[in-house]
């Protein structure tokens, strides 16, 4: 049984001249380009498999190849910030360019940073990824709610103002996550369900999707939670982690239409040939369309 829901108040109509809401942009991208998010995860073993050195030059060549090959055709690109941060400022510079180039080519960029803090620190993280004046400005960013959902308020407000989105960790694909996410919260619901209920309230009245998404692993046997949050559901775990497109209806049930399936090594492992990357992305997109419509 889920925690009692607060009354849902329809969100105000879009103000003329304001940025188009993230949920509307994401829905259009998924419908037009197909339901696929490709992760950009330049870890050392993948660089080596491409014949690249594990240094900034290898990072830059890898990232530029992926962006050039896919940004004009996939709905979402998801760079994992950690793999750029490990090279310091020069790595962050590569990430900044990748975000700008991918967005210029029409892909939505979801920066996978999993930030979470309180007060002015959370506000600073929000400014880094969700302020249009920042060189790291992204269409969306992943955040962690485990200092309390209310601690995310600076990011939620910044995203709404910029027409961007946030994806909140809820039911992640790593098995260790269950010890926190499946635990019972004060009201009797699981911690994950409490997070999902907060997300649903943030998205109340939005059409076609709200700006606040949830991260729900495609590798789960079952969600065991109410995923009707009126927002996108980022589904990592397809491909190398073992989940397939056929698993999505079982995990997501009636919310499957709003799933954003994320694949990394299943596409990136076909590189470094740009043509092979594009063919792999097209195959994955076709398989997902058969299931998701």
- Residues with active-site annotation: 114
Q: To the nearest 10°, the Cα dihedral for 91, 94, 99, 105?
A: -160
184, β-bridge pairs: 190
Q: For residues 255 and 30, is the Cβ–Cβ distance under 8 A?
A: no
231 closest CA partner among 96, 77, 30, 54: 30
Q: For residues 173 and 145, is the Cβ–Cβ distance under 8 A?
A: no
Distance between CA atoms of residues 292 and 288, nearest Å: 6
111, β-bridge pairs: 141
SS3 of the chain: helix, strand, coil, percent, to 5 = 45, 15, 40
Distance between CA atoms of residues 62 and 56, nearest Å: 10
Give a three-class secondary structure readout of 158-175: HHHHHCCEEEEEEECCCH
């Amino acid at each position: 049984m889920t925690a009692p829901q607060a009354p849902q108040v329809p969100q105000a109509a879009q103000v003329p001249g304001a940025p188009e809401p993230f949920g509307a942009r994401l829905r259009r991208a998924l419908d037009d380009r197909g339901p696929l998010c490709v992760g950009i995860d330049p870890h050392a073993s993948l660089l080596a498999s491409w014949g690249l050195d594990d240094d900034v030059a290898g990072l830059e060549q890898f990232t530029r190849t992926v962006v050039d090959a896919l940004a004009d055709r996939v709905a979402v690109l998801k760079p994992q910030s950690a793999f750029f941060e490990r090279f310091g400022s020069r790595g962050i510079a590569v990430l900044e360019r990748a975000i700008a180039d991918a967005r210029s080519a029409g892909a939505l960029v979801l920066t996978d940073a999993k930030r979470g803090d309180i007060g002015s620190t959370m506000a600073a993280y929000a400014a880094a990824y969700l302020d249009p004046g920042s060189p790291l400005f992204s269409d969306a960013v992943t955040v962690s709610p485990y200092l309390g959902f209310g601690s995310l308020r600076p990011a939620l407000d910044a995203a709404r103002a910029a027409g961007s989105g946030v994806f909140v960790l809820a039911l992640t694909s790593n098995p260790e996550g269950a010890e926190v996410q499946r635990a019972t919260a004060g009201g009797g619901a699981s911690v994950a369900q409490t997070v999902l209920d907060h997300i649903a309230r943030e998205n109340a009245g939005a059409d076609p999707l709200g700006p606040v998404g949830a991260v729900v692993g495609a590798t789960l046997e079952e969600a065991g939670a109410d995923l009707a949050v009126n927002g996108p559901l980022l589904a990592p775990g397809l491909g190398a982690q073992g989940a397939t497109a056929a698993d999505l209806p079982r995990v997501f049930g009636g919310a499957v239409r709003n799933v954003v399936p994320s694949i990394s090594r299943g596409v990136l492992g076909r590189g470094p040939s740009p043509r092979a990357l594009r063919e792999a992305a097209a195959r994955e997109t076709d398989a997902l369309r058969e299931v998701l419509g």
